Structures are given as C-alpha cells and as structure tokens.
C-alpha cells in the first residue's frame, strides 16, 4: 500500500490534477460573488479578446471539444454573457460575441487572475518564475505532440 501512495504522490499527472482542482476551488471562492465559475474563464477571455470567432475556432483556441463548447455557450447565452449570430458567409456556423456584461466581467477577472498568479508564485524568485513557466510550456508542448501523433517514441 505504501508503494501506491508514494507513486501517486510523486506522479506529475497527479500533481497537475491536484493543482488544477485546488486552483479551481480558489478561483470559484473568489468568483462566487460575481455568480460566475472558474470553468467559464477561458470562454470569457477568448470571446472578449477575439470576438466573432466561430464555435469551431473557439473550440480550437481554448482546446475544448466542440460538444462542450456548444453546451457551455448555450448556458452562457442564457445567462446573457455571449450572443451567437449566424455567420453570413456560412449559415451553418455561429459567430460568438461577448455581451457588455461579459466585457465588464473580463475587466473584473483581470485583477482576480493577477492575484491568483501572485498566490501561486509566492516565495519564488524571478528566475524560478521564468523557469516554472518554461517548464510548464515544455510539458504542454509534449502533451500536444502526443495528441497530434508527432512525439518521438
């Protein structure tokens, strides 16, 4: 039994998953007063920063499957955070735009996300912060290569 606990505790995947869950909980606490959840952050950020994307483009941009994008956008549309308009060049596509409420929420999110980064990086030197970012980027690249079938085996 001890071996299994040690394996899990030293597993990078476990650590990343644990960090993701902890971060989601922290952000949800901070966002609760805005009636907003951490899972919606990438959607708000992406629609405000790149308005008028198709759902397919948004799916690729935030790396979420098309079915999940459609469900979340439907809920966000009902909440008044986004609007979806027919693409005049391709009537089967929907273009996604933020509402003024989403744009206001974006302005609220920026200081919250800055605070979140400060909490995560507290006690790290500037050099360590750069190293952490570079290592996380390399890990993400490795996983993306595997997903694309490009990784050397």
pLDDT tens by residue, 87-134: 999 988 899 999 999 999 999 999 999 999 999 999 999 999 999 999
Q: What is the pLDDT of residue 61?
A: 92
pLDDT band at 7 (very low <50, low <70, confident <90, very high): confident
Cα dihedral value 139, 140, 142, 143, nearest 10: 120
pLDDT (mean) for 57-68: 90
The runs of H, that is alpha helices, within 11-125 are 12-31, 41-49, 55-62, 66-78, 100-120
Q: What is the pLDDT of residue 142?
A: 93
* Spacing of C-alpha 104 from chain mean position: 18
pLDDT band at 4 (very low <50, low <70, confident <90, very high): low
User: CB-based burial of residue 98 (10 Å sphere; 0-12 exposed, 13-18 middle, 19+ buried)?
Assistant: buried
pLDDT value at 17 more than 80: yes
Q: What is the pLDDT of residue 33?
A: 87
Instruction: Give residue for tokens 């507290």.
Output: 122
In contact, 97 and 82? CB cutoff 8 Å: yes
Please state the φ and ψ torsions of residue 89, each to the nearest 5 degrees.
-90, -20
pLDDT band at 19 (very low <50, low <70, confident <90, very high): very high
pTM, two decimals, is 0.82
């Amino acid at each position: 039994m001890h071996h299994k606990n040690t394996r899990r505790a030293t597993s990078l995947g476990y650590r990343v998953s644990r960090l993701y869950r902890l971060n989601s909980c922290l952000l949800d606490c901070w966002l609760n007063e805005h009636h907003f959840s951490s899972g919606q952050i990438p959607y708000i950020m992406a629609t405000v920063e790149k308005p008028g994307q198709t759902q397919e483009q948004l799916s690729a941009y935030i790396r979420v499957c098309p079915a999940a994008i459609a469900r979340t956008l439907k809920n966000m549309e009902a909440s008044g955070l986004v609007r979806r308009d027919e693409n005049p060049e391709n009537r089967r596509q929907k273009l996604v735009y933020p509402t003024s409420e989403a744009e206001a929420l974006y302005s609220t999110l920026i200081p919250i996300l800055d605070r979140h980064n400060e909490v995560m990086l507290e006690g790290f030197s500037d050099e360590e912060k750069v190293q952490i970012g570079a290592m996380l980027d390399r890990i993400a690249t490795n996983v993306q290569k595997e997903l694309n079938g490009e990784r050397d085996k």
